[in-house]
Structure 1
């Protein structure tokens, strides 16, 4: 099982109400029932995620911990927000839509678990869509909150398009539609530097700033498994020119150009 690629999270659209306001993003983050999700959905198989990097990654920021399971701390944030933006609230709660693709039992159950945690502070409307429509609406920014899976590149610079300012437009690849010039500068430096230690420091700071922005509520690191009959050979028999073994799979994808079948 490979857990090094892609993270599951709730993604918030920072380009429109209510999540264009940091208070609303922080409130939903704090109210998220992390432990219930991890117990009932991840089932102890998919590791808990605090960020886009796993514990064994050189880019992992050990001081970053995903907030959640603290609905009481969300209460004053929701009260302040609703006092300032009453049109986005009903009955003292923030009105929000949660979108995901389906039909799929696991994502529907995930939505129900999230709503159980959020319900004390948010009026949550469900929007289950076919996957192609879901992806289109995410790219167009036609959502509030979404159950999403992303990141996981071996070189995090390959994931920069999900974070930088210049990929935000009518159609965006920065799906959360949030960026800062400061974070962009860190990403550019991380991409350019040949110093591995400096690159790790930069991505750790990028992780801290992303956590502070509260645009993603990380849930778990996706567990990928590829199973084959004993007759299938050569799936992972790939080496570099100097004989070092290469990764067998990345974010669930496996190379099949070296596969052969043993019929003996």
Structure 2
């Protein structure tokens, strides 16, 4: 079983909500870049990149990075590992990352000669300092619970001992949401010893200035260990939360690139001349962020399986995708998208209004009238529209519902504290399914009123067994079987009503190159866009 360590209410509500949540916001073909920068990469130039929001800080052991935070972090820090274009873990700042046969001991060999921006050596002692600082953090330490100890066995060699087999440990070193252990900061600044808004890493760009909610500016690291990189003289990140404002800024020439999780961005730039558009809709490994209705199974009437089945049968996910996401977002019928090795013939209920009516009638014969379902949403036009659409679907099956609006600042507390019946949101994007284990484990559940990462409060021994097998199995076939079992059990217990996948995209001016599938240090190509995260290390300007 995935363990649950004691954690304070304030810590979990502060960090747990930030790491898990995104504002709720038939698959179409993935957009292919309409225009690529021509010519060869050249040294010089500047890039202004608009992100979805501001990062709370850039200390890997003190700040939980969201998608914008990861984009910032990749410019300042090196990661120990990266995902290649096929979704496989590959060394990055590490020279090698090797498990023993049982995956209970991992040996990390570092590249010699690397240094941090402040001149400190990038060695095994520095990596150990970073790992131990994250393990000591109240929330980040939960994600790293299987680690027993870290040992420096040589100047460039770190050994990580596990309490149990952990086959997916290397995926936590790749620098994606839920996997920030791989970012390595100068040991003089990590944890509580430095300013989270003055980061010091070993990455391609060096801190220049940070004006909160306006811009972060970084300049070229002239001593970067990757020969010839970076190309750019300067990178500036501008947080622009409103997607339409980001799009207009790109068209006006105020920015050079943007990322988005809004289908409108794909629809707006698909076919528009003068821009490069790419998305991750066709990516089938890992897990996508899924827009869904989460159900608190510990609260009546949702503690009755028939009610949850009725809600699933009454929800037309295909219509949802067409109306809310312009038909661009793949419809989901489980935790994993179609095409994933973890997706199997699923028992998830098909859209069937008549069956939903029968389930409601059966419930009401035994327990009396079904009360309206209270649905928590954020106070955004998108959430309000989404609720209105779902409310109409459920009403056709005889299920009434009422919105409960909360602010973005209070959303995480309501969710993780169990102060809701149903909630619309987007969740679970990850490079590897193990990174979401705490959100399904019985050990992460708690009574309503107490913070819990298992926010649906669903306790299920079969799910716990599947999570343990997926974490400990070292073979691809065994992991596939474990996560298929997890998916099937979730679709039987129904703590979630699945809707569609979040459509991430990257849009740039035509003279911007190097963001899509950048080169890895040892050859091959890195995954250029996953869950809205990109790497500016190899970015360049054609003019």
Q: TM-score of the superposition, structure 2-length normalised?
A: 0.45
Describe the SS at the equivalent of 2:497: strand
What does residue 229 of structure 1 align with? 509
Aligned pairs (5 A) from 1:1-264: 1-3=279-281, 4=283, 5-61=288-344, 63-64=345-346, 66-86=348-368, 89=369, 93-104=370-381, 106-119=382-395, 120-169=397-446, 170-236=450-516, 238-262=518-542, 264=543
Q: Once the 2 structures are TM-superposed, how far is the Cα of residue 24 of structure 1 from its aligned partner? A: 1.0
Describe the SS at the equivalent of 2:404: strand
Q: Once the 2 structures are TM-superposed, how far is the Cα of residue 82 of structure 1 from its aligned partner? A: 2.6
Alignment partners' CA distance in 2, 1:210 and 1:256? 37
Cα deviation digits, residues 180-217 of structure 1 (max 9, x gap): 12211111111111100111111111111110111111
Cα deviation digits, residues 124-144 of structure 1 (max 9, x gap): 111122122122101111111
Cα deviation digits, residues 219-257 of structure 1 (max 9, x gap): 111111111112333323534443121211221122234
Could you list the runs of 5+ residues in structure 1 that have no partner in the other structure? none
Change (3 A) 1:38 1:155: same
Alignment partners' CA distance in 2, 1:117 and 1:153? 30
Q: Once the 2 structures are TM-superposed, how far is the Cα of residue 30 of structure 1 from its aligned partner? A: 1.0
Describe the SS at the equivalent of 1:122: coil
Change (3 A) 1:56 1:219: same
Change (3 A) 1:128 1:228: same
Q: TM-score of the superposition, structure 1-length normalised?
A: 0.89
Q: Which stretch shifts more, 232-241 or 169-178?
A: 232-241
Change (3 A) 1:246 1:117: same
Describe the SS at the equivalent of 2:372: strand
Q: Once the 2 structures are TM-superposed, how far is the Cα of residue 56 of structure 1 from its aligned partner? A: 2.5
Alignment partners' CA distance in 1, 2:412 and 2:512? 34
The answer (yes or no) to whether the contact 1:187–1:203 under 8 Å persists in 2 is: yes
Could you list the runs of 5+ residues in structure 2 that have no partner in the other structure? 1-278
Alignment partners' CA distance in 2, 1:260 and 1:65? 48
Kindly tell me the number of residue pairs found equivalent between the two proteins.
Answer: 256
The answer (yes or no) to whether the contact 2:331–2:500 under 8 Å persists in 1 is: yes
The answer (yes or no) to whether the contact 2:317–2:332 under 8 Å persists in 1 is: no
Alignment partners' CA distance in 1, 2:464 and 2:383? 32
Q: Which structure would you say has the larger RCO, counting Cα contacts within 8 Å and 6 or more residues apart?
A: 1
